[in-house]
Amino acid sequence: MNKLLNHTHDPAARSWLESANTLCDFPIQNLPMAVFRTAGSHEGFRGGVAIGDQVVDLAALSAAGLLQGVALQACTVCTQSTLNDLMALGPAAWQALRHALFALLHVQATPAQQQTLRACLVPQSVVEYAVPARIGDYTDFYTSIHHARNMGRIVKPDDPLPANFQWLPIAYHGRASSVVVSGTPFHRPMGQSALPGGSQPVYGPCARLDFELELGMFMGAGNALGQTIALPDAENHIFGVCLLNDWSARDIQFWEMTPLGPFLGKNFCTSISPWVVSLEALVPFRLPFSRPAGEPQPLPYLDSPANRAQGVFDIQLEVLIETPQQRARVLRTSFRHQYWTLAQMVAQHTMGGCNLRPGDLLGTGTISGPTAQEAGALVELTQGGRKPLDLPGGEQRAFLHDGDSVVLRGWCEKPGAAPIGFGECRGTVLPALAGV
């Protein structure tokens, strides 16, 4: 993976498509990927690339005669309903397609190229999306020290931080079948929970439904069973990054998590944004990785000069709650506060010989910053529900109500770089199914 700036990061670059030159999530410097079709149609899903307010239909582009070589090979596999085969091709193919699209969308493209590519555009306003990959496995990490301490103070106040947290990226195996694309509603889950002072658990709808602000990363080329992915090579295996909401039934989760990890409290729904942003697009927003003085330093297999130099991504994040009455932002933070990097998560995942495959999804775990207003879940923001959030208009939320929608948004910005965005990840809570 090339971690250096190149011509696709030029903040002065402009597209012939005017909507890409306004302040938007998808300028020419971004070019994220998804799978889409015209909403309500019987078309097959296929790969697309976002530019301004349009989608480049990669199935149409592959037949348009504008590409050749590796870029054409990469585009051709995007005619399928998932991006798994593109993910398997590796970073050279991903970059070839991205750079070819950059050239075709640039103002310096020839009039003939512009005319041909314009015929491959579909307005984002008329499309629907699907999960971008066939997800074989889903792993969710636990890598924010601020989240870990906030949760520890609620669940285990005398010893809030797990002894292993500062030594390795902790994770659990999630449920791939319930990963859904943004905009998919879900029903409040049923399950067991323990009431304070009760002698036995009760069964019923979740009463403490929560969101978790996360990023997801889709894996590209994998590794063979028994082999490992070394830290310096880990980013070559990451196809790209999306927004992820790991919905959580806190009352069910806290009852079932002794002695094992999350089960029904987590497996009912995980929402992801449709657009997957490449690590190449994120190059301008890299930062050094370091540990505070006096804290444990990573063991050698989780450490490298490159990871120290630029292993962190400064991705701005926010969460909004939409009730039937209003829309309110409840937190804003940055991914730069995470205790472990994307590369360290991938390396740790394979150190025992686990084989990752193209399309596997890894969640970063809840992203919380150092201040109380940057906590990435309601359970933290409300101190376990004891101090509900005051929303405009007199509403309060300790946990989510039926009819609430949660919207995650992400973007990158800094002086001297073109801002890019991730779109949104949205989900709506429906009432528990009657008769369950």
The dihedral of CA 285, 289, 223, 273: what is its sign? Answer: negative
Flag whether 246 is marked binding. yes
Residue 339, marked binder: no
User: Is 85 annotated for ligand binding?
Assistant: no
Q: How far, in Å, are 141, 143, 151, 157, 335 from residue 146 at the CA level? A: 14, 9, 9, 14, 12
| Both tokens assigned to 263 | 């089960």
Is 364 a known ligand-binding residue? no
Q: Which two tokens stand for residue 312?
A: 């962190």
Q: Are the C-beta atoms of 236 and 91 separated by less than 8 Å? A: yes
> What would the two tokens of residue 114 be?
């512009």
Catalytic residues, by residue number, are 147
Residue 277 DSSP code = B
For residue 416, the one-letter residue type is G
- Residue carrying structure tokens 């003939």: 112
Question: Measuring CA to CA, which residue among 61, 55, 42, 51 is closest to residue 15?
Answer: 51
How would you classify the pairing of strands 270-272 and 179-181?
Answer: parallel
Give me the DSSP letters along 91-124: HHHHHHHHHHHHHHHBTTS-HHHHHHHHTTEEEG
Look at phi and psi of residue 294 and say left if phi exceeds 0, alpha if psi is from -120 to 50, else beta. Answer: left
Residue type for position 106: H
172 is in an annotated binding site: no
Residue 10 annotated in ligand binding: no
Residue with structure tokens 């020419």?
A: 28
Q: Find out whether 214 is annotated in a ligand binding site.
A: yes
Tell whether residue 395 is among the known ligand binding residues. no
User: Cis bond leading into 259, ω under 30°?
Assistant: yes
- The annotation status of 338 as a binding-site residue, yes or no, is no
Identify which of 59, 56, 63 has the alpha carbon closest to the alpha carbon of residue 104.
56
What 3-state DSSP class applies to 279? coil
Annotated binding site for Ca(2+): 140, 212, 214, 246
Annotated binding site for Mg(2+): 246, 266, 270
Annotated binding site for substrate: 142, 253, 366
Annotated binding site: 140, 142, 212, 214, 246, 253, 266, 270, 366
